[in-house]
Structure 1
Amino acid sequence: MDFQAHIRSLALVSLSLLAGFSVHAQAPQQADFIVAVVNSEPITNSEVRSEVRRITLQLEQQRQSVPPTEELRRLVLERMVNDRIQLRMARDTGIRVDDAAVDQAEQSVAQQNQIDLPALHQRLAKDGVSVATFRAQLRDQLTLARLHERDVEGRIRISDQDVERFLQDQQNNNVDPLTQDINLAQILIAVPEKATAEQTALIFQQAQKVLSRIRAGEDFGRLVQELSAADRNNGGQLGLRRADRYPPLFVTATQQLGVGGVSEIVRSGAGFHILQVVEKRAPATATRFVVQSRARHILLRTDAKLSQTAAIARLADVKQRILAGSTTFQAQARALSQDGSAEQGGDLGWANPGMFVPEFEEVMNRLNEGDISNPVVSRFGVHLIQLIERRRVELNPQQVRESVRNQLRQSRYEETYSTWAQELRARAFVEMREPPQ
């Protein structure tokens, strides 16, 4: 997913998080002006600035890099223009979202924030957002979702020949490094977020010394335990998975290495990494068997009121109380978990590989049945995970083909959406305006 698609996805899901609205009340008041006109509808500078702040807040909460302000502003304005065009298209072609659907969406937002509707409305008012504005944005989100389902997903056609071709290619083509299954181990020499250039240079020298020790024959696993700032369990291994689910930097640094090979130093936002290839497997043919996992979890979402550190400490305490027998995992999930599985005691049901985000799945896969993890940080918040059981399930030929069909449909969505959106844009009147001098 490119960053423009990511900005669009943030816009579509952000209404489920109240944090996205607080920035409106904090915006300083400045003289406003029109920056774009879309089919006679204006987009103002204050609207763009407010959306840029909201997207920035979400990226920071998800601990993702934030583009330079002007670049982010350009991306946000483009997305807003496209949204206006698409909402007009939806209205003109008869898509309507009734009050009952908006009511249900509003209730969902309240439930996700573990409050009732009156409390939700109070929090919106405190942040300077009227209920009418909030409901209008919910209605727009639902309208766009229905339009995309009808006009974008409806364009995607996966034929039987497409499925056969994919299965044949999967069997014949083992040359793409991103289709390989790999397991990497890492040593992370952390660099503080606000480190100076001099501090960073000194830390890089430390990383070089560690790499020299490895080249001289010292055991990688022992150095993981001695020096790594990342997870040291299982020798620092990150888990066997498709290469495209690893950071691209890691894949690039190791794709020419054989099993046991050690990379040069890799720089990331976290610091300096030294990577060892633990295992490599060529892509298999269509999967006939899968190992399904059934787990339960407790999710705490982090925000201004609950820091990541506090969430980790809280779940660590919960784990100790469960292990001591003073409570149960299910009871704590019902009381604390901030997602839809809470009512089921955190039970996530049977899951095929790849259904969860990598940072969650890697930890779950290392658990034995009945084990409870330490707190796990993901893009959604902080989790406590318990593995209930595993089972090996054979897929029949029809299930294999349906799985391939779904993969192809997902892989073609962004291209289909982009083409469709460009076609709408070409038919619309769009005037971009320069700021007043």
Structure 2
Amino acid sequence: MTDHSTHPFRTAPRQPRRHRLVPGLCLALALLTAGSQTQAQGFKRSDAPSVSPRILGNRGLSTELKLAGVQSTADYIVAVVNQEPITHLEVEKRVSRIQESAPAGARLPSGEALRQQVLDALINEKVQLSFARTSGMDVPEAELDAAIENIATQNKITVADLKDRMRADGLDYQRYRDSLREQILLERVRQREVNARIQVSDADVAEFYAKGAEGLGETSYNIAHLLIAVPEGSSPTQVQALQAKALELQQRASKGENFAQLVKANSADTNTRDQGGTVGMRPASRLPDLFVDAVKNLPVGKVAPLVRSGAGFHVVKLIERENSGKATYTQQRARHILIRTTPQLDARAAAKRMDDIRKQIVGGQASFAQMARQYSEDGSAMRGGDLGWTAPGQFVPEFEKALLALQPGQVSEPVVTRFGVHLIQLIERKEVELSEQQKKEAARSVLREQQFEAAYEEWAKELRAAAYVELRDAP
């Protein structure tokens, strides 16, 4: 195993996990099987408004720019949370974003039911943000600057261009910064407070581990999908044309064309499009049956035959499988080139330089290893950028997402992380059997994740019960 100290963009090494019940199944996939009700980022709820709502607020930063708001109307306060107002327009904008991002054919709650769920989500967000601030949590300005520069770079514009687009759309740049700050703060306070409530003893692990395949028997999948939506009421001729388009994309993906790029250029699912169609590792029970059936016998990295759902046609690729029954997980071997950003070289300029390097590699003018030795500013440069074999979760999220979207031999587009700009090539993947210690660590992770939902619900209820919440009628 390579020395982690030479790779600062890696996260702290951890044991591979066979069940990663990460909150956040994309809305599109949830709607395929949920009927008239929607998922809530993995947090279930009763109908009581004091619990985390089914339509949850912002979780994580999107690099897809959606700057246009709803048409301005008369605004008024609909709720006050700890002296902080929630306005009618805030609710309407959130409702609009949910409706716009839902895939064609999806059934959302009725207008008023959706507005109530959104208002409930906003109240919980305000309560949790208030708690975070009073407990001394904050997001440094430098971190916000880096996040905004990353978003601009991913959209191939400068921060100045981003500000210009906001002004043209009548949006306030400072409010945009404040929104990003709140997203980061919410995620941090939830992780800190909820994880602190979860206790897993060695006895719990031993009991769970003793169950063997019965306790750890469900296979998890990380899939990526591309949706060609079929609008309701489409004629047979229109459906046939859409099916032909989807089949062409499926064939292109099967031949090795960059799946993430195909998704970004063609997918109707705006929830996953910006991430190359990936939805993250999910147990089979938390994926639609039609996707599980498509990938359960599929080799990792391959593309399934075309899938049809109520929303349209799906091109589905299996990114990663964690087979708990066989106690295996997917390892990846990759190489990369890193150009660090400086006050003199911002992320956009570094990405342009990296794009020139990529063109030489893809064009066959130089090998990846040669360019890594010549240009990379990482300790792996002397090895041609080779990072060795790594388990899931060892890299920062932006890097890992780009790596998971690649097939062996493919080279990514420039990837921006807080450490600089990377170019990544996947060398190969393989499935590895877990050691006994890794199995026990996997069991501990499963137990913690099983407790997360209940711990979150309890924490959210306590915070809301202690908060001042005043609902107001429309004028």
TM-score under structure 2 length normalisation = 0.55
**Secondary structure of the residue that 2:196 maps to in structure 1?**
helix
Residues 1:118 and 1:331: Cα distance change in structure 2 (over 3 Å): farther
Corresponding position of 1:220: none
Corresponding position of 2:284: 244
CA RMSD of aligned residues (A): 5.6
Residues 1:139 and 1:77: Cα distance change in structure 2 (over 3 Å): same
**Secondary structure of the residue that 1:12 maps to in structure 2?**
coil
Task: Give, in whole Å, the separation in 2 of the partners of 1:65 and 1:359.
Answer: 26
Structure-to-structure mapping, 1:109-148, within 5 angstroms: 109-114=148-153, 117-148=159-190
- Structure 1: gaps spanning 5 or more residues: 207-224, 235-240, 258-264, 274-279, 299-316, 334-340, 376-383
Question: Does residue 424 of structure 1 match 2:463?
Answer: yes
Is residue 10–residue 55 contact of structure 1 (8 Å, CA) maintained in 2? no
Residues 1:9 and 1:109: Cα distance change in structure 2 (over 3 Å): farther
Task: Give, in whole Å, the separation in 2 of the partners of 1:13 and 1:163.
Answer: 31
1:296-327 superposed Cα distances (whole Å, 9 cap, x missing partner): 699xxxxxxxxxxxxxxxxxx99996454136
Structure 2 letter corresponding to 1:244: A
Residue in structure 2 matching 1:402, options 441, 444, 466: 441
Residues 1:227 and 1:387: Cα distance change in structure 2 (over 3 Å): closer
Question: Does residue 199 of structure 1 match 2:236?
Answer: yes
Alpha-carbon offset, residue 399 of structure 1:
3.7
- Structure 2: gaps spanning 5 or more residues: 1-23, 26-38, 43-53, 257-280, 298-306, 316-320, 339-355, 373-377, 414-422
Greater CA deviation, 80-89 or 344-353?
Answer: 344-353
Corresponding position of 1:108: 147
1:214-250 superposed Cα distances (whole Å, 9 cap, x missing partner): xxxxxxxxxxx9998795569xxxxxx9861884232
Alpha-carbon offset, residue 417 of structure 1:
1.4
TM-score under structure 1 length normalisation = 0.59
Question: Does residue 33 of structure 1 match 2:33?
Answer: no
Task: Give, in whole Å, the separation in 2 of the partners of 1:134 and 1:10.
Answer: 16
Corresponding position of 1:372: 410
Corresponding position of 1:166: 208
Question: Does residue 293 of structure 1 match 2:329?
Answer: no
1:256-310 superposed Cα distances (whole Å, 9 cap, x missing partner): x9xxxxxxx963423499xxxxxx99842655x8644326699xxxxxxxxxxxx
Alpha-carbon offset, residue 49 of structure 1:
1.4
Corresponding position of 2:59: 12
Alpha-carbon offset, residue 173 of structure 1:
5.2
Is residue 163–residue 405 contact of structure 1 (8 Å, CA) maintained in 2? yes
Alpha-carbon offset, residue 138 of structure 1:
3.5
Greater CA deviation, 135-144 or 414-423?
Answer: 135-144
Residues 1:419 and 1:132: Cα distance change in structure 2 (over 3 Å): same
Structure 2 letter corresponding to 1:36: A
Task: Give, in whole Å, the separation in 1 of the partners of 2:386 and 2:161.
Answer: 28
Residues 1:294 and 1:359: Cα distance change in structure 2 (over 3 Å): closer
Is residue 286–residue 400 contact of structure 1 (8 Å, CA) maintained in 2? yes
Residues 1:363 and 1:142: Cα distance change in structure 2 (over 3 Å): closer
Residues 1:42 and 1:387: Cα distance change in structure 2 (over 3 Å): closer
Is residue 107–residue 117 contact of structure 1 (8 Å, CA) maintained in 2? no
Corresponding position of 1:53: 96
Structure-to-structure mapping, 1:63-74, within 5 angstroms: 67-68=108-109, 70=111, 71-74=113-116
Is residue 295–residue 389 contact of structure 1 (8 Å, CA) maintained in 2? no
Task: Give, in whole Å, the separation in 2 of the partners of 1:346 and 1:41.
Answer: 50
Task: Give, in whole Å, the separation in 1 of the partners of 2:169 and 2:385.
Answer: 31
Residues 1:227 and 1:133: Cα distance change in structure 2 (over 3 Å): closer
Residue in structure 2 matching 1:284, options 325, 329, 340: 325
Structure 1 letter corresponding to 2:455: T
Alpha-carbon offset, residue 132 of structure 1:
3.1
Task: Give, in whole Å, the separation in 1 of the partners of 2:129 and 2:92.
Answer: 21
Is residue 36–residue 430 contact of structure 1 (8 Å, CA) maintained in 2? yes
- State the structure with bigger RCO (CA 8 A, min sep 6), 1 or 2: 2
Residues 1:243 and 1:54: Cα distance change in structure 2 (over 3 Å): closer
Greater CA deviation, 405-414 or 37-46?
Answer: 405-414
Residues 1:346 and 1:132: Cα distance change in structure 2 (over 3 Å): farther
Residues 1:102 and 1:74: Cα distance change in structure 2 (over 3 Å): farther
Alpha-carbon offset, residue 46 of structure 1:
1.0
1:321-343 superposed Cα distances (whole Å, 9 cap, x missing partner): 6454136658999xxxxxxx9x9
Task: Give, in whole Å, the separation in 2 of the partners of 1:390 and 1:400.
Answer: 21
**Secondary structure of the residue that 1:387 maps to in structure 2?**
strand
**Secondary structure of the residue that 1:293 maps to in structure 2?**
strand
The percent of aligned pairs where both chains have the same amino acid is: 30
Bigger radius of gyration among the two: 1
Alpha-carbon offset, residue 89 of structure 1:
2.2
Is residue 35–residue 435 contact of structure 1 (8 Å, CA) maintained in 2? yes
Is residue 411–residue 425 contact of structure 2 (8 Å, CA) maintained in 1? yes
Structure 1 letter corresponding to 2:94: E
Residues 1:34 and 1:392: Cα distance change in structure 2 (over 3 Å): closer
Question: Higher helix proportion, which one?
Answer: 1
Corresponding position of 1:309: none
Residues 1:194 and 1:18: Cα distance change in structure 2 (over 3 Å): closer
Is residue 205–residue 443 contact of structure 2 (8 Å, CA) maintained in 1? yes
Is residue 104–residue 312 contact of structure 2 (8 Å, CA) maintained in 1? no
